[in-house]
Amino acid sequence: NGPRTNIRDGSLQGGQTTQRAGLEAAGVDARRRVAGVYHHRHLAGVHPAQPSGQFEAGDQAGAAELFFDFRVADLAMGSGHFLTAAIDHIEKKMAAFLEEEGHQIPGVAKEIILLGNAARDAIGDPDGPLPEGSSLLRSQIARRCVSGLDINPISVELARVAIWIHTFVRGLPMSSLDHNLVCANSLTGIGSVDEALDVLVPGRNGAATLFDAPIEDALKASQGVLADIAQMPEIDRKETQAASKAVRSANAKAERARLLFDGAVLLRRGRSDLIDAVDPIGIATQAAEDEAQDEVGLLQAGHMPALFPEVFLRENGGFDVAVGNPPWKQLMVDELRFWLRIEPGILALRPAALKKRVEELKKERSDLEPAFTAEVEEFGLLRDAITSGPFPGVGGGGRAPDLYLAFAWRNWQLIRRGGRMGQVFPRTLLSATVSSEWREEILHEGAISVVTVTNSGQWVFNGVDGRYSIALVNVAKGAGARDEVGLSGPFYDMESFLRGRDDIGYVPPALLTSSAQGAPFPHLPDTKSTSIFRTLRESPRLSEGVGLARFVPVYEFNATTDRPIFDAGRETPNRWPVCGGSSFNIWEPDTGEVYAWADPKKVTAELQRKRLRQINLRSSAFYGLPKSWASDRGTLPCMSPRIAFRDVTNATNTRTCVAALVPGERVLTNKAPYLLRLAGTAVDEAFLLGVLSSIPLDWYARRYVELGMNFHIFNGLPVPSADPGDPLRLRLIELAGRLAARDVRFSGWASEVGVPVASITSPQAQA
């Protein structure tokens, strides 16, 4: 089995396989996978019943190859900080593994010794000490185990330089990283061979196609060249130059596959004017035309199987780990940023002056109009490529594509089963409606744990708004993943983060999917919070009904698009107030703030028009209600007291869920949605208002709310069920009814509830 020496002293012990070390580096429990590793096709000479450190004669090359068969990627690497840290982490795990008794891989030890001797000879001191084994191992990990992409060529060069410096060994040349770190866009290209085939042959349902052989043959030819490069230790500049030349050769051999992938991208975008062939040769020929290549070039399409065939052609293809902090911005042209490049000082101007100066610049520098137009067109091209890609929810609802969501999908798609992704995302990934399909797939096909931090005081990132929560997301893919969701945080400083990050509470995925539509993730700081959350979630969702009653949140008027219906004139006896969320507070129907005033005849006529139309729309809360009811203007919700709640709120407010019973003869904007009572009585309304105004319910709301109470969160709020005669329910109805019925405007409602009007008038009495 070869000599056994210590890696820290300059040479390397043998070992079983890097799968275990690599999986541990990724945070995966490798013990459940070890038996499967023995059956890996690269270890043809290893019998699964043999001890882990024993290999048959002649298997050293296969064992050494498998040792480095671990791939970590950053799909938006910037200058390579994550990959540099990953190299160190992998080196520590691999070194610790190889130092264990019985872990012997002579091929790896021989390679490290060869590199050490070459470095010592190049220095000109043949009798001097060998370089540290850890440094030599790091250099090989950089060559074989990390991959990165970025659309900025300067960032790619900086990443290469950063890794060169970090893994530099005196006497050895800088390794060729042309293959590992590339300038390309991982979102606009093809992520897998199956992804391309689904576009090239719609409806194939996994069946073999005419495209399989051309793609596979080209990629295998490229893979063979890259395998030879991997076996080249690059002990001198001649070998490094040969490696760079071989990378170019590998790219050339993958050309046919790349052109077919280009064709798939263009077809996915609907460019039938460029690609109208149906056979492999025809599509590849058309994709090679200048116009097609110009468009693909603007997209910087990074086809992962062509870039990294050794990763995606192996059994159970894909990266073992995907790390990174991808862009969070929306993909849209920012006109201000364009003119800031021309005149940076305009940012200091007040908004009105800034707008005026931009208009002046457009006239003064009309020569730049073509450049701005080209930028708009390029953004449009990129937007279409991403929204037409395999990223559900991205660009949904007509909004600009959220790049963080596209990267969340791409990272998930590119890791192999059993792999992991560790990413930094805005926490909206775990709560926004547009990302609901991503969450549901993760919960169904993998496992996830999240540590949340809030950037107050800029302790995490400089220049990132401190109000926003940041999610440190760890996802495991496939069989063997834990069937519970781990949640911890938010943490507001380094001290609390270090103290509490390992106090993770776990909840079943089914609890999240049943809590609210789209399975948003709650903030659960610790295991105690998780226990409270589980208890509250035993109650039904509000959307499931309040006993026999049913309430649905509704927007009445949009403050922007419906603005012509009302005006901002002064209060007069014949006008109704138009109210937003700031117009009321808990147990306070009037704060004195009014958004605008409206003519009752005008607004009720508009509400009648909307209601008569909406009773026929399946998507409307009014759908299916009797036409006789909808035709009676006196039944408009705005004519009577009803529960309204604030749309704009956040988890750091004194109260997050702010609901109140507002009087009739007023209308509400979208910042103050109201609850339409579809079934039940004012008694049920009083009970629900009491629950919504309670501290336990507010605690629950804080688990979900970031910067607003959307309908998905509100419909998922837990409302305890109770028998009509339950003393606690009756007591809650009485208290809520008395607190809500502040004056004679609520007389009818109070009579139905069975409470007096104006029985509580002061804040002290309310308390």
Whether 517 and 694 have beta carbons less than 8 Å apart is answered as no
> And the tokens for 65?
């190859």
Query: Who wins on pLDDT, 650 or 293?
Result: 293
| pLDDT for residue 551 | 96
Tell whether pTM > 0.95: no
| pLDDT for residue 489 | 84
The distance of Cα 115 from the centroid of its chain, to the nearest Å, equals 41
Does residue 237 register a pLDDT over 60? yes
CA gap 642, 759 in Å, rounded: 19
| pLDDT for residue 570 | 67
How far from 307 is each of 230, 483, 699, 736, CA to CA, in Å? Answer: 15, 34, 49, 65
CA gap 177, 254 in Å, rounded: 18
**How sure is the predictor about 745, in pLDDT bands with cuts at 50, 70 and 90?**
very high
**For the CA atoms of 240, 323, 463, 647, what is the dihedral angle to 10 degrees?**
150
CA gap 246, 475 in Å, rounded: 35
| Longest distance between any two alpha carbons in the chain, whole Å | 101
Whether 455 and 465 have beta carbons less than 8 Å apart is answered as yes
Share of the chain above pLDDT 70, in %: 89
Does residue 443 register a pLDDT over 60? yes
| pLDDT for residue 397 | 65
**How sure is the predictor about 479, in pLDDT bands with cuts at 50, 70 and 90?**
low
Q: What is the pLDDT of residues 316-341, one digit of tens each?
A: 999 999 999 999 888 777 677 777 77
CA gap 362, 104 in Å, rounded: 69
| pLDDT for residue 236 | 75
Average pLDDT over residues 257-273: 95
CA gap 591, 582 in Å, rounded: 7
Does residue 477 register a pLDDT over 60? yes
CA gap 534, 514 in Å, rounded: 12
Q: What is the pLDDT of residues 20-68, one digit of tens each?
A: 333 343 443 332 222 222 222 222 222 222 224 434 444 566 777 788 8
Q: What is the DSSP letter of 415?
A: E
Whether 111 and 64 have beta carbons less than 8 Å apart is answered as yes
Q: How many CB atoms lie within 10 A of CB 333?
A: 15
> And the tokens for 689?
């208002």
Q: DSSP string of 508-567?
A: -HHHHHHHSTT-PPPP--SHHHHHHHHHHTTSPBGGG-BTTBEEEEE--B-TTTTGGGSB
Does residue 529 register a pLDDT over 80? yes
Average pLDDT over residues 75-96: 93
Whether 484 and 500 have beta carbons less than 8 Å apart is answered as no
How far from 220 is each of 182, 312, 375, 693, CA to CA, in Å? Answer: 20, 10, 38, 64
> Regarding beta strands 319-324 and 415-426, do their DSSP bridges make them parallel or antiparallel, or are they unpaired?
parallel
| pLDDT for residue 51 | 29
Whether 392 and 518 have beta carbons less than 8 Å apart is answered as no
Strand intervals (E) in 151-226: 181-183
Query: Which single residue is written with the structure tokens 């959220």?
Result: 402
Average pLDDT over residues 126-132: 78
Q: How many CB atoms lie within 10 A of CB 652?
A: 12
Strand ranges across the sheet with 642-645: 550-554, 674-679, 642-645, 659-662
| pLDDT for residue 481 | 62
* Half-sphere exposure for 58 (CA within 13 Å, toward CB): 2
| pLDDT for residue 563 | 81
Average pLDDT over residues 500-522: 86
| pLDDT for residue 541 | 93
| pLDDT for residue 120 | 83
**How sure is the predictor about 146, in pLDDT bands with cuts at 50, 70 and 90?**
very high
Mean pLDDT over each residue of the chain, to the nearest integer:
84
**For the CA atoms of 494, 498, 502, 503, what is the dihedral angle to 10 degrees?**
-70
Q: DSSP string of 631-670?
A: H-GGG-GGGS-EEEE-SS--TTSS-SS-EEEE-SS-EEBT
Q: What is the pLDDT of residues 591-617, one digit of tens each?
A: 999 988 999 999 999 999 999 999 999
